[in-house]
Structures are given as structure tokens and as C-alpha cells.
Structure 1
Amino acid sequence: MLISSVGIAQSQLKVIDLGKTYEYQNQNLLPGLYHHVPADLVNHGNTSIRNEEAASLVWKGSPNSNGYGYFQRNRDMGQVFNVPEGTDIHLDALVLRSSKGENAIMTGALGAEMYLIFFEVITPNGQELRINENGTTKGDLATHGFDVQFNRCDDFIEGDQYQVIHLARGGLFPEVEPTTQPMYARPNRSHGEQEGHIRYFRFDLLGEAELKLEGGKRYAFMVGFVEPGKDRGIAWSITTEVHTKEKGEFVRDENGQIRWGIRREGDGTLPPTMIENAEPPADGRSRKQLIRESLFPKNHYKKLAPTSDGYPDVDTYRTMEFYLEVKE
């Protein structure tokens, strides 16, 4: 659930290309406020944010893929994190890293306006956070998401609510050479590293956008594109335990506090409509419904609630590579 309020703080954002190297060990970073992934472990996939126009939505129609018969939904991505107990922080910037995937940097991302929003994560009325396993256990196929290979792909978190505390927007994504192929580390593969692969980007909060967060509280950030466009997407570096966890257990940070990945997709419909068809319907009510569910509503970044529940799998066990820079 999204909890917003009138007069929420808003300010400007600047997105800066840091190149291939980020000296995170020299930054003022605190345990729990960053997740570093060694370059050789950066994922080769396309776990991405995207905001496509209706005309450029991708149809997932292969029975051999993670489900079929739906338009790929537009998506924002974010991460829950915990400020260490007894340590209030003055947040200055967020650093993220692109993946090794073919869609690490898509052409429509260049020059597109981005936003960065922060939430306080709330568990109201004495509720406890819990993992809903959708009735599947080890050895079962997932029944909730389009990815039916692993039982953990349908787990999601219940009891979480999100209070908007700050919205920064206006940052234009830098002019970086887009990626056109996946990056493979093995020497017998022809694809190699491109400029947009495993590259760092700083989301710099300008002036009054710098905000203070209280020690011992749980927060979350989320990034995305403000407006849709053709081929508008960025795949981020992540780690995930969705394919390896035997039990439905929370991922924990360096301080032993639980954290999870968040997202919002399309118009927020869960579960989204899927049809058993290798090709999208040519016209009619079904096509309109599929397209509507895949597109963001106007000003979606102010309206849609975050969730760990999504498609083709969920974000319950996913952690973005992130670095929250704080002022001394």
C-alpha cells in the first residue's frame, strides 16, 4: 500500500555517468547502506526498469520462455534498506550499476528524464512482515508467476506499507553508448564488454533534496523513467536467491536486518492478464486490455504502490547493487 501526503518534499535530481570504476571503499558508506557485487558476479540478464510506449511494447509469445501470451509490462525497480540503529544519516546520493545484459543501456534511455523516490517502510497496527509462499514448497513448480520453474518465484511479502518521504526528478540519463549484445565472460563466446556494461551512475540529490533518515528505521528507494518512449530501459546489476533458497526466508543485510527488492509494473493489476497465444491479438477488447495493463498511468511515480510481487517472477529475494552516499 502507498501512503502519500499533500506537500511531500520535491526537488531536483542529477544523473551522472561515473564510468567503469567506482571507489566505493573510499566513500562514506555504512554497513546495510550498500551492496557491492564483484564484476565477475554481475548478472548477465536484463532485470530492468523500462517505460515503453504502446507501439513498442514487447510481446512475450514463446511457450519456451517464462510464460507466454502477454505484453512485457513497464517497470520501476527499487530496494528496501535499513539505517543502522543509533545512526541518523544525511543522504547525499544513490549509486547504481548497469548489468552485463543486452539491454543494459537501451537507446531510448539516453536523455530521458528520470526520478528517484524514497519511502519509509511501515508495518501498521502491530502487524508482522511475512512471506506468502503461495502454497508451494521445495520441489513444487511456482504457480503465481509466469516463471514456473522454481517454487520461490511466486513468493511475495505481506504486511508492508510505503510512506512517501521524498521525490526528486528532472535528472536526464547521460549520453552513454547503448549496449547491443549480452556480455559473456567465457572466452568461447563471441560477445564482449561494451561501454554501457557494468557501468556506474550516480543519482545526485541537489541542494534541499538531500534528506535525513533516522537510525533504526526501514526505508526504500525506487528509480524509473518519468515518461514513456521507444526502447526506453536500463538493466541493473543485481544478486538474487530466488533460484537457490530452500526455505521462504528473508534476505538479511550486514547488520542482520531484513531487506527485499520492490517494483511496480504497468497499471498495477495483479495478476496481469495472460492469454495462451504465441502472437498478440490483432485488435479488439483483449488487445486493449493487455496494452492498458502493461502501460503506466500518468504520473505513475506518485500513484502506484511498490510491491515485491511481479512478473515473470517476484522481487522478494532480489537485491540491487546499490551505494547510498551520506554526508559526514
Structure 2
Amino acid sequence: MKTDIPKIFALICCTMVAYGCSTSEGSFSVHNLGKNYRTNHEKLVPGMYHHIEKKDDVVGGNTSIRNVNAENLVWKGNPNENGYGYFQRNRDLGQVFTVGGTEDVILDALVLRTSRGNNAVMKGAIGAKMNIVFFEVKRSGKGLSINENGTTKGDSATHGFDHQFNRADDYIEGATYTFLHHSIGGSFPDIGTTSQFVYDNGKGEPFGEQEGHLIFFRCDFSERSEIVLKAGKTYAFLIGFTEAASSRGLALAISSEVHTKEKGDFLRDSSGNIRWGVRREGNGDNPPMMLGNSEPPENKKLKKALLGQSLFPKNHFKGLEPTSDGYPDVDTYRTLQFYLEVK
């Protein structure tokens, strides 16, 4: 009897993808869906998407992924900011979610949306290759908790973009992230760059909207990336740029519940499951070393060390663990506008 080696190998590869073997790898393509995305509810499962109503478009949040090369990293040197004297760090962003319902699903695509910010689509994003990584998320023996970083209701945070709010420095503890699958490719389409913010004109309508603002884009996974996600289990995805270059950044539409002087509390999806945003920044050191200087240091060794903290290490897509804690911002109360479509 002749053994069909190719078929056996293919079956093994498919099984590895479905059950999260550490060698699991695939690809995806990115497509411009324009300003409107018609949600196909047959492809959406509770917990696997977060929709922002149209009336909230012009008041929604703005947070960015970026991968800028060492020669073009921005020096954070303004003493009026919360923490200064370091290079702005490269960043991947993503989302923790739980598969609702009672049936396992096969992942088909991820739909995201650009923001209303001036950095919604930067020049270096056009044509740039992207990466998406999935993790399985589990609770440690002590369970999940929110570390309020010593600042609670009514306090000012120790750091954070809106550090007048005590929640701005809160982060999740008690979660473990196990690598599941890595998808490579996905050149970002030419949807037009942005240079200004979209504002509310007072009538609940956008003012100053440019071509690249509030664009939906679909990351369509290849067959090898159509992984099986199990009902009731919690996962996370992270998206970012493959290679560093000048002005390589993309800001995504979000919802945020950080802007309150209330005690920290978990965000939950429509089924009551806890979810939170995740990120990876630079080499993972947190917080970064800060000199308190308005200009970068002239000392080459010191400058190299600072740059090393802000640049991604090699193969960081598999090796750098997600976290909700960053500097200056955290993602504990941030939810991407996302739609994980299933087959």
C-alpha cells in the first residue's frame, strides 16, 4: 500500500493550526472597505466584535500602531508632558475577547477601522506589510484583577495620556498569553493619508474629514490562518507593521472608559465576559528609562540604549508578550472597533 506523504503532511499542518502549535503560521491580505461596513450578522458571534454607532463616530477615540526606524523616532522632550526624556516607542495593538455561544468557530477575517485623528493614516503605512498574532488567554491561579497603581477614585494617575483620571494607569494582572498563530503579509492599501483631526461640527456630523479617516479595512485570512477558536475560551489578537520605516503609523478607532474618576472596574462584552485591550511596546521594558532632557543625549552608548528600548527586538511577533500596561498609556479600559468574522 502506497503512503500519501503530502496528504498526511497537510493534515498534520491543519491540525497544528487548529490547536495552536507554536509553529502555526499563515498569511492574509488587506482590503479597503470604504467609509461604510455592512455588518453581516451571520459572520459575527457575540463577544467577537465591538460596534460603534455612527452618532459616536466623531467623538470616538484614537490610538495608534507604529513601527518607525531608529533614524526617525520622535524624542519625547516636552517637560509639560507626563514623563519625558525618551524616544517614542514602537507599538502593536490588539484586543482580548471571548468566543460567545456554544459552538466552535473558524476564523475568516478581521475588520478594523482607522480613527478620526491626524495620524489615522501616516505616509509610511501605505503599502507596508502587516502581521497579526493570536494568543489564547488564561487566568492564573489567583484570577484576574485590576492593579490601580496606587491611584483610585478621584486621584491623578501616575502616568497616562489623560492622567488627570485615576484609571489612566490601571493595568490587568493575572492573565497569561500563550502563542497560538502568526499571520504574515497584508500590504496596507492606499486609502489616503491624514493630517488633521475630524471634529464634531456641533450637529453630530463630522467636520474636517479626510479620505483616510474612519475607513474600514478587512484582513482576509488565507486557508492556513483560518484557525479554530473554541466556544467559551478567551483569546487575544495583536496587529502591527512587519518592518520599520519613516512615518510608519496607523491610528485605529476605539471606545474608552478611562475618562472617569471612578474606581477601576472590568469592561465586559454583551455576554458579560471580561475583555480589555492589549499592546506591545518597544523591547517590552516598562516604564522606559527617562532622562528628563528636552533633547536626545549626545553620548552614543546612552542614546543606543534608549533607542533599544523603543525599537522592537527581532522576531518580536512571537516572542514579546502582550500587556495592558504601557507608557504613557494603558489599554485596560480601551476597546478597538473590531469585527472578527467567522466562516
TM range (shorter): over 0.9
CA shift for structure 1 position 264: 0.3
For 1:230, the equivalent position in structure 2 comes to: 246
**SS of aligned partner of 1:236:** strand
Is structure 2 residue 53 aligned with structure 1 residue 38? Answer: yes
More deviation, 263-272/23-32:
23-32
Residues 114-145 of structure 1 deviation map (CA, whole Å, 9 limit, x = unaligned): 01111100124x33011111111112121255
For 1:269, the equivalent position in structure 2 comes to: 285
CA shift for structure 1 position 46: 4.1
Are residues 44 and 257 of structure 1, via their aligned partners in 2, closer, same or farther at CA, if it must alter by over 3 Å? Answer: closer
Structural RMSD (CA): 2.1
From 4, 13, 27, the counterpart of 1:12: 27
CA shift for structure 1 position 84: 1.2
More deviation, 254-263/61-70:
61-70
Taking the aligned partners of 1:102 and 1:39, their CA distance within structure 2 comes to 20
Are residues 219 and 250 of structure 1, via their aligned partners in 2, closer, same or farther at CA, if it must alter by over 3 Å? Answer: same
From 6, 11, 22, the counterpart of 2:37: 22
More deviation, 153-162/19-28:
19-28
For 2:150, the equivalent position in structure 1 comes to: 135
Task: Output the amino acid matched with 2:319.
Answer: K
For 2:9, the equivalent position in structure 1 comes to: none
Tell me, which stretches of 5 or more residues in structure 1 are unaligned?
Answer: none
CA shift for structure 1 position 45: 5.4
For 1:86, the equivalent position in structure 2 comes to: 102
TM-score relative to the length of structure 2: 0.89
Contact 1:260 1:308 in 2 (8 A): yes
From 112, 120, 125, the counterpart of 1:96: 112
CA shift for structure 1 position 27: 5.0
**SS of aligned partner of 2:326:** coil
Taking the aligned partners of 1:86 and 1:268, their CA distance within structure 2 comes to 36
CA shift for structure 1 position 219: 0.6
Taking the aligned partners of 1:19 and 1:280, their CA distance within structure 2 comes to 40
CA shift for structure 1 position 6: 6.5
Taking the aligned partners of 2:47 and 2:206, their CA distance within structure 1 comes to 38
Contact 1:66 1:147 in 2 (8 A): no
**Count of matched residue pairs:** 322
**SS of aligned partner of 1:47:** strand
Task: Output the amino acid matched with 1:293.
Answer: Q
Tell me, which stretches of 5 or more residues in structure 2 are unaligned?
Answer: 1-19
**SS of aligned partner of 2:167:** helix
CA shift for structure 1 position 8: 2.3
TM-score relative to the length of structure 1: 0.92
Specify the structure having the higher radius of gyration (Cα): 2
Taking the aligned partners of 1:277 and 1:149, their CA distance within structure 2 comes to 23
CA shift for structure 1 position 53: 0.3
Task: Output the amino acid matched with 1:131.
Answer: I
For 1:207, the equivalent position in structure 2 comes to: 223
**SS of aligned partner of 2:231:** coil
